[in-house]
Structures are given as C-alpha cells and as structure tokens.
C-alpha cells in the first residue's frame, strides 16, 4: 500500500524569501525523508517504530534523520552574489563549507565530490549509498549528504551529517531485505563531533556569510 508523505518544508514560503538564509534544523523523533519521485509501496514505517514520513523537493534518495544529526540547509536567492546557474558549483560550495569546518577538526582527509552522481546499484534510492556532487567524504567514507532544489527564485541546498547509521533503514525496506547491512558511512559519533556539535553548526552559519540564520524543528 502506498503511504502519503507530506512535504518536508513550506516551499512556497521559501520561494518568497528574498534574503540569503541558512537554516539549522533538528528533529527529536525518527524521520524518513524521500526524494521527490520515490515510491512508498515497499516502505514499512512500522518496522522503524512508526517513524514520520516526509517528501522533499529536488534530487537525492531516501534518508533517515533523527536526534543529534547535524542538519544545515542554505537558501540562495537568484539575486544574491553567491547564486550561480551551475548546479554542480552550487552543490560544491555547500560541500566546501562543510569541508573547511570538518577539516579544521579532524585528522583524516576530507574530500568534496565534484564529479557526477554515482548510485550504488545494490542499494538503489538510498542517499548515503551513493556519491553526489558536493557530498563530503572523510577517510573515504561518506559523511555529509547533499541535495538541491532549484527554482527561478533561487537555489536551496540541504545537507546532513547523520548521527544515526543509515543501515537502520533496512527493516523498513521490505523490497530489499539485507541490502543495507554492509552500508558504511561516517556519523557524528564516529567522527568524534558530538561534544563539538554546537560549535560545528555555528561555524557553518558563518561560512561565506553574511546569512540570515533561522533555527527550527522539522516536525513543528
């Protein structure tokens, strides 16, 4: 049975925002976010303890968000000097902000992917199984997922460094049992960033500023 997924954000409000804004978002309960065109037929949210379901606009695959994630979104209006028509350049700019912040705190090599989108065919539609423009890798493991939505009013880039292993999605994907068992990626905890999480977020809000800063819960 197909599930109804409400939109993750108020996109009309976003399009009406004429000031460059960085959003620091949180969720206090598990939240499964789908890409714009992903089907829900094989998704079993009960297996995740009744996680909430939302759909975002733009590209990217399914992601599990939860308490403790470092989740930062940027809205760049088309009239802002930081706006560019180049989709890859927009994503890379967000990845570079993350790389600068993480690189100053970690001893492992930090890399921003600047090539094309590369999906993992063994784990189709799962964000942290692939490699997309602007995404950040630490020591060879994906650390920050990046998605983008573009309209005439501007570009919206959403990023997250998860606290929760994405392999926890496996029980909910009834059509692909075991497909996520070996999924490896970095987390807030594995990078030792939990004690420094607030400082990481604050520094991200200042990179390439000035930005208007807005903080809100995803499920409010």
Instruction: Tell me the two tokens of residue 17.
Output: 């925002």
What is the C-alpha to C-alpha distance for residues 117 and 189, in angstroms, rounded to an integer?
Answer: 27
Pairing of strands 110-112, 31-34: unpaired
Average pLDDT, rounded, for the chain: 91
Q: Which residue spans within the chain are E strands per DSSP?
A: 6-7, 21-26, 31-34, 52-55, 63-65, 70-77, 110-112, 136-138, 141-151, 154-161, 212-217
Across-strand partners of 156? Answer: 75, 149
Give me the pLDDT at residue 124, please: 66
The DSSP call for residue 2 is P
In the chain the domains, ranked by start, together with CATH numbers, are: 6-217 (3.30.930.10)
* Cβ 211 vs Cβ 75: under 8 Å: no
Confidence check: pLDDT of 14 > 90? yes
CA distances from 3 to 23, 53, 55, 214 (A): 28, 9, 11, 30
Give me the pLDDT at residue 173, please: 79
Rounded percentage of the chain residues whose pLDDT exceeds 70: 94
Give me the pLDDT at residue 46, please: 84
Confidence check: pLDDT of 138 > 60? yes
């Amino acid at each position: 049975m197909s599930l109804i997924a409400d939109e993750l954000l108020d996109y009309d409000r976003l399009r009406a925002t004429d000031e460059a804004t960085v959003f620091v978002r949180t969720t206090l309960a598990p939240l499964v976010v789908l890409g714009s065109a992903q089907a829900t037929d094989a998704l079993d949210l009960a297996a995740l303890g009744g996680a909430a379901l939302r759909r975002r606009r733009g590209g990217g695959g399914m992601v599990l968000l939860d308490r403790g994630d470092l989740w930062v979104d940027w809205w760049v209006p088309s009239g802002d000097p930081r706006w560019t028509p180049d989709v890859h350049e927009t994503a890379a700019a967000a990845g570079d902000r993350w790389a600068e912040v993480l690189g100053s705190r970690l001893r492992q090599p930090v890399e921003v992917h600047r090539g094309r989108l590369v999906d993992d065919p063994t784990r189709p539609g799962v964000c942290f199984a692939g490699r997309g423009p602007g995404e950040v890798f630490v020591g060879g493991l994906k650390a920050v997922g990046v998605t983008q939505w573009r309209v005439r009013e501007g570009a919206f880039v959403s990023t997250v460094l998860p606290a929760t292993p994405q392999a926890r999605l496996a029980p909910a994907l009834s059509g692909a049992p075991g497909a996520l068992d070996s999924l490896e990626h970095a987390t807030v905890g594995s990078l030792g960033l939990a004690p420094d999480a607030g400082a990481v977020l604050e520094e991200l809000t200042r990179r390439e500023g000035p930005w208007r800063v807005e903080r809100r819960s995803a499920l409010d």
